């Protein structure tokens, strides 16, 4: 099967790294290859958590990847964006605009998750919980959305 993009930014909120690995594991089990587009700090945290690349084998720079999407030199049928601040919302809105054919899932977390979710004006499936340290409140909805999404691509 194909590649799926996981888009992440600033690693300020502790749940982000385990969510990336959880999503990557789900995607692999469904026969897809997860590609993580991240800033250098977030990339390093994921690599430290997955030193033998069991879950993620390919990493890209987030800004370069959005540029490549805009140019049309890369495409992904599914893009999963992890958002906990305005910058993440902006990256995701831009990604939505430059990759309109992709199925987009926005996973919003952190103490302002609901406020950020209300600001979204692009087409996306939202998974929202104001969590910072415990992934559990996100996982049931995330599993449901991922199961549906991998069937659509």
The C-alpha R_g of the chain, in whole angstroms, comes to 14
Across all residues in the chain, what is the average pLDDT? 96
Residue-range domains of the chain with CATH: 3-152 (3.40.50.10160)
Report the SS3 class of residue 6: strand
The reply to whether the predicted model has a pTM over 0.85 is yes
Mean pLDDT throughout 42-60? 96
- Specify whether the backbone of 31 is left (phi greater than 0), alpha (psi in -120 to 50) or beta: left
Q: Which two tokens stand for residue 144?
A: 């449901």
Q: Which two tokens stand for residue 91?
A: 């990256």
- Specify whether the backbone of 10 is left (phi greater than 0), alpha (psi in -120 to 50) or beta: beta
Mean pLDDT throughout 31-52? 96
Contacts of 16 (CB under 8 A, 6+ apart): 8, 42, 45, 82, 84, 109
Mean pLDDT throughout 38-56? 96
Residues 111, 83: contact at Cβ < 8 Å?
no
Has residue 83 got a pLDDT over 90? yes
Q: Which residue in 123, 114, 75 sits closest to 96, CA to CA? A: 123
Task: Using pLDDT thresholds of 50, 70 and 90, give the confidence band for residue 1.
Answer: confident
């Amino acid at each position: 099967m194909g590649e799926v993009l996981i888009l992440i930014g600033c690693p300020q909120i502790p749940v982000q790294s385990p969510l990336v690995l959880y999503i990557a594991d789900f995607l692999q089990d469904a026969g897809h290859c997860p590609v993580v587009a991240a800033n250098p700090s977030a990339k390093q945290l994921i690599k430290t958590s997955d030193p033998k690349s069991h879950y993620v084998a390919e990493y890209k720079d987030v800004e370069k990847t959005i540029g490549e999407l805009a140019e049309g030199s890369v495409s992904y049928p599914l893009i999963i964006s992890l958002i906990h601040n305005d910058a993440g919302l902006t990256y995701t809105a831009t990604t939505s605009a430059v990759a309109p054919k992709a199925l987009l899932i926005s996973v919003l977390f952190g103490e302002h998750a609901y406020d950020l979710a209300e600001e979204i004006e692009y087409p996306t499936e939202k998974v929202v919980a104001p969590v910072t340290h415990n992934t559990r409140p996100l996982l049931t909805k995330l599993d449901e959305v991922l199961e549906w999404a991998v069937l659509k691509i």
